[in-house]
């Protein structure tokens, strides 16, 4: 499916604003989505209006290599484009409170392998999000080595999209929680864990693994031919994920 390009259109919430309550109040969700997220979409479009040559690029393409953009546009794309990307993943990663669930299948196995247990993952995600000074996001990402990592970014920055595939994030700007939780970011994070849409996160994880495999093949890093091709050699360790290992390919 072709990715969206300019003019970017605000995405509707995939649930009613009140359905995240009591974890996240309807007032908070409406304010956050309808006013703040909308402002990022509008400002990104306004910034791109004078650059017709770049209007055919997807949001991911714009954010992947901001260093290649005209200097006069770069800050706006990082700030507003990042704000669109971060908010869309955030809102799309939640579901009504009544549908509370846990991850399962291969995603749960990967979480256990990387973090020890689901509980450990939740604690680690909370800890990292708590430690993000001032505004920003905490992210669960899939690296090009096929493993999960938790990372944070400041402001509206996104992780390096050339190197990782974000599959879940949580907005820790005060505007996300102040109306309901005031300065109690930890309470907000505990509540957020209860409205994560793990089915969508799992789908992103599977699609991300597929992308990782394709990237490996394109770089000629596939393993040996034949029935034994259960593993792809991951080649050179990367700076961010400094591990050389094998990853299971079903």
Residues that bind Fe ion (CB under 5 A): 171, 173
Least distance from Fe ion to the Cβ atom of residue 33, Å: 9
Judged by beta carbon, residue 144 or residue 153, the one nearer Fe ion is 153
By beta-carbon distance, which residue lies closest to Fe ion? 171
Least distance from Fe ion to the Cβ atom of residue 111, Å: 25
Judged by beta carbon, residue 88 or residue 171, the one nearer Fe ion is 171
Please identify which residue in the block is written with the tokens 């704000």: 83
Judged by beta carbon, residue 173 or residue 241, the one nearer Fe ion is 173
Judged by beta carbon, residue 36 or residue 118, the one nearer Fe ion is 36
Q: Which of 200, 184, 191, 183 is nearest to 140 (CA)?
A: 200
Judged by beta carbon, residue 157 or residue 171, the one nearer Fe ion is 171
Least distance from Fe ion to the Cβ atom of residue 60, Å: 19
At 239, list the tokens: 């700076």
Please identify which residue in the block is written with the tokens 């969206």: 4
Least distance from Fe ion to the Cβ atom of residue 68, Å: 27
Judged by beta carbon, residue 36 or residue 108, the one nearer Fe ion is 36
Cis ω for the linkage preceding 22 (within 30 of 0) = yes
Tell me the CA distances in angstroms from 143 to 149, 150, 175, 238, one per residue in order. 7, 10, 29, 10
Rounded CA-CA distance 17/21 in Å is 8
Least distance from Fe ion to the Cβ atom of residue 83, Å: 7
Contact 142, 208 (CB under 8 A): yes
Q: How many helices (H) and strands (E) does the chain have?
A: 10, 5
Contact 77, 44 (CB under 8 A): yes
Least distance from Fe ion to the Cβ atom of residue 9, Å: 18
Q: Which 8-state DSSP code applies to residue 20? A: G
Opening angle at CA 42, ends 31 and 63, nearest 5: 105
At 224, list the tokens: 């040996």
């Amino acid at each position: 499916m072709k990715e969206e390009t300019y003019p970017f259109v605000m995405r509707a919430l995939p649930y009613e604003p009140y359905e995240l309550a009591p974890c996240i109040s309807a007032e908070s969700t409406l304010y956050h989505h309808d006013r703040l997220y909308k402002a990022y979409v509008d400002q990104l479009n306004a910034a791109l209006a004078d650059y017709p040559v770049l209007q055919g690029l997807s949001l991911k393409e714009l954010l992947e290599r901001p260093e290649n953009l005209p200097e006069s546009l770069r800050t706006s794309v990082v700030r507003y484009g990042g704000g669109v990307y971060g908010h869309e993943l955030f809102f799309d990663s939640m579901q009504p409170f009544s549908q509370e669930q846990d991850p399962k299948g291969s995603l749960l196995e990967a979480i256990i392998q990387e973090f020890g247990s689901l509980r450990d993952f939740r604690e680690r995600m909370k800890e990292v999000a708590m430690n993000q000074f001032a505004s920003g996001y905490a992210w669960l990402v899939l690296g090009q080595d096929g493993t999960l990592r938790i990372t944070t970014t400041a402001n509206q920055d996104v992780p390096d999209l050339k190197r990782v595939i974000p599959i879940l994030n949580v907005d820790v700007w005060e505007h996300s929680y102040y109306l309901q939780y005031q300065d109690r970011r930890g309470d907000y994070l505990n509540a957020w864990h209860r409205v994560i849409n793990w089915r969508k996160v799992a789908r992103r994880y599977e699609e991300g693994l597929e992308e990782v495999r394709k990237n490996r093949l394109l770089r000629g890093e596939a393993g040996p031919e034949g029935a034994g091709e259960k593993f792809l050699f991951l080649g050179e360790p990367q700076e961010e994920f400094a591990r050389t290992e094998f990853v299971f390919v079903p």
